[in-house]
Amino acid sequence: MEARGYHVAVVGATGAVGQQMLNTLEKRNFPISKLTLLSSERSAGKKVTFRDEEYTVQTATPDSFEGVQIALFSAGGSVSKELAPEAVKRGAIVVDNTSAYRMDENVPLVVPEVNEEALKNHNGIIANPNCSTIQMVVALEPLRKQYGLSKVIVSTYQAVSGAGAAAINELREQSQAILNGDSFSPEILPVKGDEKHYQIAFNAIPQIDKFQDNGFTFEEMKMINETKKIMDMSQLHVAATCVRLPVETGHSESVYVEIDDLNVSAEQVKQLLKESDGITLQDDPSQQLYPMPADCVGKNDVFVGRIRKDLDRDNGFHMWIVSDNLLKGAAWNSVQIAESLVKLKLV
Amino acid sequence: MEARGYHVAVVGATGAVGQQMLNTLEKRNFPISKLTLLSSERSAGKKVTFRDEEYTVQTATPDSFEGVQIALFSAGGSVSKELAPEAVKRGAIVVDNTSAYRMDENVPLVVPEVNEEALKNHNGIIANPNCSTIQMVVALEPLRKQYGLSKVIVSTYQAVSGAGAAAINELREQSQAILNGDSFSPEILPVKGDEKHYQIAFNAIPQIDKFQDNGFTFEEMKMINETKKIMDMSQLHVAATCVRLPVETGHSESVYVEIDDLNVSAEQVKQLLKESDGITLQDDPSQQLYPMPADCVGKNDVFVGRIRKDLDRDNGFHMWIVSDNLLKGAAWNSVQIAESLVKLKLV
């Protein structure tokens, strides 16, 4: 590690995730010798404060990456497609928070609690998984290691901040309009680029990202495919139903798993997860203690509760997994990857 | 059937469900010769309009049921426990919307689309199932009949109106407080009678009803036990995770099922459900057509969509089931039972 730190670039510095990346770099006291803040042309010129210093955000171009050692990308898939290779060409390691490279077999898809070692095989780009995938695999990995894992069925309860700052505004404005009895016109959710838009306030929308031909949405297929890749379990059975809720931040997941071991109690699963990295166990029905999105905001951990054994299958368990989708689901996992790169002397 | 109709009593006439019962009786033009509106002492004296006539709600006592032929109860389990036998003693048939008698082996638990014939074995009391159970079994029954059914895993997305009118007010007031940046103090949800109360606005609470010793909530165990009883499948594997959402009315359910037949396509399941009683199929990903709670309010049907075959199991299917929890989940199913009693000449 260089004594003074690294030249770090944040691409998409003005977005919801970019802002959390800067907060996280600051909180973690990440060793930064120089910081370059980049964005699309639209947001360039904006002022951003980091460690009490004011930065002007620049338009990202290939030459922006001269001298950059670590580039955190979160400005949309097309920006990553265009500029991540340019950054790598100039010697940077890219941690990409978009879906552009996640399923590329030459790109490690990393959640440090699960597959930090995969970083060693990087070719310049490292992909940060989808938010809903990250928090789930953090909870699944200890089960896999200890008991073996064969099946996962997840239903999600996802916050609007996963769809960006405009979706947060839409939820707030729509909620106010409904409370006032005013009319409103949905324009962003469920998917900004899709044809129809629906009410999100006081509603639940079973669509996140567009539909594939097989009837699953891209979000659901991300959870299925990314989970298999991160856990290196191509044969794992995974199914997902992804639903958007009128929650600002914090994704929740109702997860059913089947493990290989038939002789495990719910108490053992609780104990195992309690001792696992990156997890806070919140599980005490007698105290009405369980994770909720409103409680997880601003925290890096994955919160797990409602752990109970299936009533019909000895190897089946149900659980409820909650995390801040902007932190562990995005900014914190990206910074954590950068910290792992430093720790493993890969940068 | 008597030409002029029946003497009907509604117990709990001023509550959220009671009001919907009266609306539904009116809309369905149910044959009523005399209407008696009853409630606890607290709500007695309130005025209620039915078919342009004003009624004063009376305190329910055993003698209130003299001459009553059909009594619809929705005033809480303790009222049903005390007064349903008194109503039966006086010759009434009771349709009880509380959980008081649901698992009583002498009491039929009825969803007319599924087990209308069970009404023939009644002993005076007929139980109306839990709201989240009703909408699910309406969608499951055609699958069971056509293909056989072996396993059900459901995660619910439940509206606050299931917890009564006070919970609706709490959601509205809390939402406004949060939008204003004001403080607030949760007092009702998740469970009025439980010790702790949590924010419901812009949150998701994985607790409905109190916890049992096995880690499941009573709501979850209701879904499990009632489903087996209604479908007469004691060996059916059912698991449930029940979650309360900031939605006013309309329960949603993400349901995974396994059928016995290995050679069924998602298209066949869609066609089957489309042709089934009480179901409206809303399933066209190319048009972003799927059920949502905001669209189901005020409608009697169960709405089903997002039907797709599991990617790993040929006999596994995922679907999304939505219905108005105050109508098919409560008032409409109760009135529908009354209509079946008339049709089957059991009253």
Q: What's the pLDDT tens digit per position in B154-166?
A: 999 999 999 999 9
**Amino acid identity at B338:** A
Each residue of B95-110: pLDDT tens digit? Answer: 999 999 999 999 999 9
Tell me if residue A315 falls in helix, strand or coil.
coil
Whether complex ipTM tops 0.95? yes
Chain A: residue whose CA lies nearest to B313: A237
Q: How much is the pLDDT for B1?
A: 46
Would you call B190 and A288 a contact, using CB atoms and an 8 Å cutoff? yes
Each residue of B26-70: pLDDT tens digit? Answer: 999 999 999 999 999 999 999 999 999 999 999 999 999 999 999
Mean per-residue pLDDT, B304-317? 98
Share of chain A above pLDDT 70, in %: 99
CA distance to partner chain B, nearest, from residue A110 (Å): 24
Domain A6-129+330-343 classification at class level = alpha beta
Each residue of B198-208: pLDDT tens digit? Answer: 999 999 999 99
Which of B122, B131, B242, B296 is catalytic? The answer is: B131
Looking at chain B, the domain(s) classified CATH 3.30.360.10 span: 133-325
Higher pLDDT, A164 or A282: A282
Residues with Cβ within 8 Å of residue B277, at least 6 apart in sequence: B113
Would you call B254 and A206 a contact, using CB atoms and an 8 Å cutoff? yes
Would you call A216 and B308 a contact, using CB atoms and an 8 Å cutoff? yes
For chain A, give the mean pLDDT.
Answer: 97
Determine if residue A102 is labeled as part of a ligand binding site.
yes
Longest dimension (CA), chain B: 60
**Tokens 């009135």 appear where?**
B335
Answer whether residue A3 shows pLDDT above 60: no
Partners of residue B176 in chain A, C-beta under 8 Å: 179
Mean per-residue pLDDT, B283-288? 98
For chain B, give the mean pLDDT.
Answer: 97
Contact A302, A321 (CB under 8 A): yes
**Amino acid identity at B97:** N
**What are residue A241's DSSP bridge partners?**
A155
d(CA B7, CA B14): 19
Q: How much is the pLDDT for A4?
A: 75
d(CA A114, CA A134): 9
| β-pairing verdict for B32-39 and B58-59 | parallel
d(CA A146, CA A141): 9
| β-pairing verdict for B251-259 and B149-157 | antiparallel
Looking at chain B, the domain(s) classified CATH 3.40.50.720 span: 6-129+330-343
**Residue B3 banded pLDDT, cuts 50, 70, 90:** low
Higher pLDDT, A1 or B142: B142
Q: Which CATH number fits domain B133-325: 3.30.360.10, 3.40.50.2000, 1.10.10.10, 3.10.180.10?
A: 3.30.360.10
Q: How much is the pLDDT for B4?
A: 75
d(CA B6, CA A87): 80
**Amino acid identity at A256:** Y
- Number of Cβ within 10 Å of residue A176's Cβ equals 16
End-to-end CA distance of chain A: 8
Chain B: residue whose CA lies nearest to A256: B153
Chain A: residue whose CA lies nearest to B257: A153
Contact B315, B260 (CB under 8 A): yes
**Tokens 């770099």 appear where?**
A25
Would you call A199 and B294 a contact, using CB atoms and an 8 Å cutoff? yes
Catalytic annotation on B7?
A: no
Would you call B294 and A176 a contact, using CB atoms and an 8 Å cutoff? no
CA distance to partner chain B, nearest, from residue A143 (Å): 19
The residues of A assigned a catalytic role are 131, 251
Q: Mutate one of A191, A199, A292, A309 to test the B interface: name it (highest B CB count within 10 A).
A: A292
| β-pairing verdict for B251-259 and A32-39 | unpaired
Question: From start to end of chain B, where are the E strands?
Answer: 6-11, 32-39, 47-50, 53-56, 58-59, 70-73, 93-96, 125-127, 149-157, 237-241, 251-259, 279-281, 302-309, 316-323
Q: Which of B199, B243, B246 sits opposite A202 (nearest CB)?
A: B246
Mean per-residue pLDDT, A332-340? 98
Each residue of A162-189: pLDDT tens digit? Answer: 999 999 999 999 999 999 999 999 999 9
Would you call B247 and A203 a contact, using CB atoms and an 8 Å cutoff? yes
CA distance to partner chain B, nearest, from residue A207 (Å): 8
Answer whether residue B2 shows pLDDT above 70: no
- Number of Cβ within 10 Å of residue A106's Cβ equals 10
Contact A246, A160 (CB under 8 A): yes
Share of chain B above pLDDT 70, in %: 99
Tell me if residue B19 falls in helix, strand or coil.
helix
Count of residues in chain B: 347
CA distance to partner chain B, nearest, from residue A322 (Å): 10
**Tokens 């509205």 appear where?**
B172
Chain B: residue whose CA lies nearest to A177: B176
**What are residue A54's DSSP bridge partners?**
A49
Tell me if residue A109 falls in helix, strand or coil.
strand
Determine if residue B336 is labeled as part of a ligand binding site.
no
